[in-house]
């Protein structure tokens, strides 16, 4: 047995620090590698042109636009629905067996493989509701996939608001909804936005759910309505990496880099909004 | 003297636990009434029946009647929002919102829309003056309320109630988180406020009850053992249990 507390401190520190480094290094390496391989492909034509020569040349414009549409469509459905039901479950639902079962089910839904959502979307939205493979069907499928994330983070954010704030507000003759609206939600907003960030990243990056519901193999034009198919970056990346022979490495990594940049910049927007909300709180 | 709060055979159950037993009590207007008794005797629970904050707990049942200014507040028609505007509450731990001093005071005004923005400054000054904070804070109105000292925070919490224009102030051990100096200041404030408000204070500090209250109610194991003027109760208690508690035999 080691008795020396200073030595133990050193060992603990080294272990904790080492684990952190092991986690951070691969992320940096991946980022570095993608930027290094993909950067030469990035230019104005690549970002704004249609693909050419069987996707071996030209740009990825329709895939960029498709992914943006899908992310927006997903948030349009998932954000209001997820936040509202999160508020209901946390603030209004009685704590009984049924509520606990629903909460447990939602947490478990987050762990369902994305291809299952894809098949579900195909069955419900594409075939049964006859939306066809379309932006609408794809957005709805992605929305259902990210709903558990949004609901769960919303609930966690609401739970972290001190109970005393609710009590004080109610004791001042403020109604329950006004309390939620003016006290609870403003405090929970940064947490809710974190959920939105996670949802955006997931929706932008997933391939399987859009595979059967919206993504086009090759469609060198922009969609005219929500019932049109679109190309999307993650599926396009899959296609040019595995389905089309002899695509230059830099085009593949360039596509990956663009996807990364889109996700990161959408996150950045949410992070800035979150910082604004945090500033208003005077802890 | 006008009776502000009156209870008839008030019983309170939490699950199968009988928390308050047949409480009959009448609280006079513009007086300070102290609820005293050992921990767990039901004094905080009794206080919270007057603004129905106990409703927030599940598995709670109340029987009997409670009248606030002559109106029964345990009827299906009772409007909790209006009740709580009439009956304000100060909590054990100072609990300002994580907002500025001004936003704390104006919180209810903005939500209830009781005054136009042009009156905000006047309301701020009036409320803070009433709790003797104006001089100290008039230049710090936009500072976070959480940066204030605990005593100032508790004063601010009392000030935050005033724009709601309550008739009754319920204080649940308002000084238990404060040092003796701050406690003395808050007690002085209570004496100032009783000119305009009916005050009920729950305290486990008997000296405080003796110093500040006009009437005292001694609760023990959910029963109201003795109720009367503080002076009488503390000099010639009628019940043996009251005497034993006041002399420190238990509690």
Picking from B51, B79, B84, B168 by the largest number of A CB atoms within 10 A of its own CB, the best residue to mutate is B84
Cβ(A199)–Cβ(A111) below 8 Å? no
Closest CA to B215 of B223, B62, B224, B248: B224
Closest CA to B70 of B6, B152, B21: B6
State the smallest CA–CA distance between residue B46 and chain A in angstroms: 15
Give pLDDT, residue B212: 95
Contact residues for B163 (Cβ-Cβ < 8 A; gap 6+): B105, B106, B108, B109, B114, B115, B123, B127
Residues of B in contact with A187 (CB under 8 A): 98
In a domain, B237, yes or no: yes
- Note whether A264 contacts B: Cβ–Cβ < 8 A: no
d(CA A169, CA A182): 9
d(CA A37, CA B133): 64
Contact residues for A224 (Cβ-Cβ < 8 A; gap 6+): none
Give the CA-trace dihedral at A159, A163, A169, A174, to 10 degrees.
60
Residues of B in contact with A182 (CB under 8 A): 107, 111
- Note whether A97 contacts B: Cβ–Cβ < 8 A: no
Q: Encoding tokens for residue B45?
A: 């629970």
Averaged in consecutive runs of 10 residues, what is the pLDDT profile of chain A (283 residues)? 82 95 94 92 88 82 93 95 96 90 91 93 94 94 95 94 92 94 92 89 91 87 88 92 87 93 87 81 61
State the smallest CA–CA distance between residue B87 and chain A in angstroms: 8
pLDDT in tens, B167-183: 999 999 999 888 888 89
Q: Which residues pair with B34 in a beta bridge?
A: B201, B216
Q: Encoding tokens for residue A235?
A: 């599926």
CB-based contact B53 A167, cutoff 8 Å:
yes
CB-based contact B56 A167, cutoff 8 Å:
yes
In a domain, B203, yes or no: yes
In a domain, B54, yes or no: yes
B116 pLDDT exceeds 70? yes
Give pLDDT, residue B190: 93
Give pLDDT, residue B248: 84
Give pLDDT, residue B195: 94
Give pLDDT, residue A2: 62
DSSP string, A151-181: HHHHHHHHHTS-HHHHHHHHHTT--HHHHII
In a domain, B74, yes or no: yes
d(CA B45, CA B30): 22
B251 pLDDT exceeds 70? no
B119 pLDDT exceeds 90? yes
CB-based contact B97 A165, cutoff 8 Å:
yes
Average pLDDT (B226-250) is: 91
CB atoms within 10 A of CB B76: 4
Among A165, A173, A281, whose Cβ lies nearest the Cβ of B108? A173
* Structural domains in chain A, sorted by start: 64-280 (1.10.3720.10)
CATH at residue B240: 3.40.50.300
- Note whether A165 contacts B: Cβ–Cβ < 8 A: yes
In a domain, B202, yes or no: yes
Number of domains in chain B: 1
Which residues on chain B place their C-beta less than 8 Å from a C-beta of chain A? Answer: 51, 53, 56, 58, 81-86, 88-89, 91, 93, 95, 97-100, 107-108, 111-112, 143-147, 157, 160-161, 164
Residue in B closest to A174 by C-alpha: B81
CB-based contact A172 B108, cutoff 8 Å:
yes
Closest CA to A274 of A199, A196, A203: A196
CB-based contact A283 B146, cutoff 8 Å:
yes
CB-based contact A171 B53, cutoff 8 Å:
yes
Strands B71-72 and B60-68: antiparallel
In a domain, B143, yes or no: no
d(CA A213, CA A235): 12
pLDDT band of residue B56 (cuts 50, 70, 90) is confident
In a domain, B23, yes or no: yes
Residue in A closest to B162 by C-alpha: A172
Strands B3-14 and B17-28: antiparallel
Closest CA to B30 of B169, B184, B127, B188: B169
CB-based contact B58 A94, cutoff 8 Å:
yes
Picking from A160, A165, A168 by the largest number of B CB atoms within 10 A of its own CB, the best residue to mutate is A168
pLDDT band of residue B58 (cuts 50, 70, 90) is confident
Residues of A in contact with B50 (CB under 8 A): none
Q: Residue B199 sits in which domain range? A: 3-99+166-246
CB-based contact A168 B97, cutoff 8 Å:
yes
In a domain, B50, yes or no: yes
Task: Indicate the average pLDDT of chain B.
Answer: 93
Rg of chain A (C-alpha set): 23
- Note whether A173 contacts B: Cβ–Cβ < 8 A: yes
């Amino acid at each position: 047995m080691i008795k020396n507390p200073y030595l133990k401190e050193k060992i603990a520190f080294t272990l904790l620090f080492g684990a952190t480094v092991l986690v951070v290094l691969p992320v940096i390496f991946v980022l570095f590698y993608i930027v290094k391989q993909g950067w030469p492909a990035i230019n104005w034509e690549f970002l704004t042109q249609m693909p050419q020569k069987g996707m071996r040349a030209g740009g990825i414009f329709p895939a960029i636009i498709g992914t943006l549409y899908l992310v927006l469509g997903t948030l349009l459905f998932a954000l209001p629905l997820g936040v509202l039901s999160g508020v209901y479950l946390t603030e209004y639902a009685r704590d009984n067996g049924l509520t606990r079962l629903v909460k447990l089910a939602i947490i478990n839904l987050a762990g369902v493989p994305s291809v299952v959502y894809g098949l579900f979307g195909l069955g419900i939205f594409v075939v049964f509701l006859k939306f066809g493979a379309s932006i609408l069907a794809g957005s709805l499928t992605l929305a259902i996939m990210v709903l558990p994330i949004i609901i769960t983070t919303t609930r966690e954010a609401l739970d972290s608001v001190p109970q005393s704030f609710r009590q004080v507000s109610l004791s001042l003759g403020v109604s329950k909804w006004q309390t939620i609206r003016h006290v609870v939600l403003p405090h929970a907003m940064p947490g809710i936005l974190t959920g939105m960030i996670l949802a955006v990243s997931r929706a932008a990056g997933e391939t399987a759910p859009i595979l059967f519901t919206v993504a086009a193999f090759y469609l060198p034009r922009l969609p005219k309505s929500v019932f049109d198919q679109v190309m999307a970056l993650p599926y396009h990346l899959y296609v040019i990496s595995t389905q089309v022979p002899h695509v230059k490495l830099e085009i593949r990594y360039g596509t990956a880099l663009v996807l990364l940049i889109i996700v990161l910049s959408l996150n950045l927007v949410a992070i800035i909004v979150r910082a604004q909300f945090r500033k208003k709180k005077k802890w | 003297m006008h009776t502000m709060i009156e209870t008839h055979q008030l019983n309170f159950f939490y699950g199968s636990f009988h928390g308050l037993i047949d409480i009959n009590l009448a609280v006079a207007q513009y007086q300070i009434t102290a609820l005293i008794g050992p921990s767990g005797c039901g004094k905080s629970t009794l206080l919270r029946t007057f603004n129905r904050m106990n409703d927030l707990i599940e598995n709670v049942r109340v029987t009997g009647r409670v009248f606030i200014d002559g109106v029964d507040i345990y009827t299906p028609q009772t409007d909790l929002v209006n009740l709580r505007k009439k009956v304000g509450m100060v909590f054990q731990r100072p609990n300002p919102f994580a907002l500025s001093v001004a936003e704390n005071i104006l919180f209810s005004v903005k939500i209830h829309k009781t005054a136009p923005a042009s009156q905000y400054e006047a309301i701020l000054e009036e409320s803070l003056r009433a709790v003797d904070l104006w001089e100290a804070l008039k230049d710090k109105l936009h500072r976070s309320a959480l940066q204030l000292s605990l005593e100032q925070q508790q004063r601010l919490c009392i000030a935050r109630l005033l724009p709601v224009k309550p008739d009754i102030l319920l204080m649940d051990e308002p000084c238990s988180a404060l040092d003796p100096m701050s406690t003395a200041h808050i007690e002085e404030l209570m004496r100032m406020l009783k000119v305009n408000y009916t005050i009920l204070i729950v305290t486990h500090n008997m000296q405080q009850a003796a110093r500040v209250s006009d009437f005292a109610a001694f609760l023990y194991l959910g029963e109201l053992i003795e109720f009367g003027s503080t002076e009488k109760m503390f000099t010639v208690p009628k019940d043996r249990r009251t005497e034993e508690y006041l002399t420190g035999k238990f509690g």
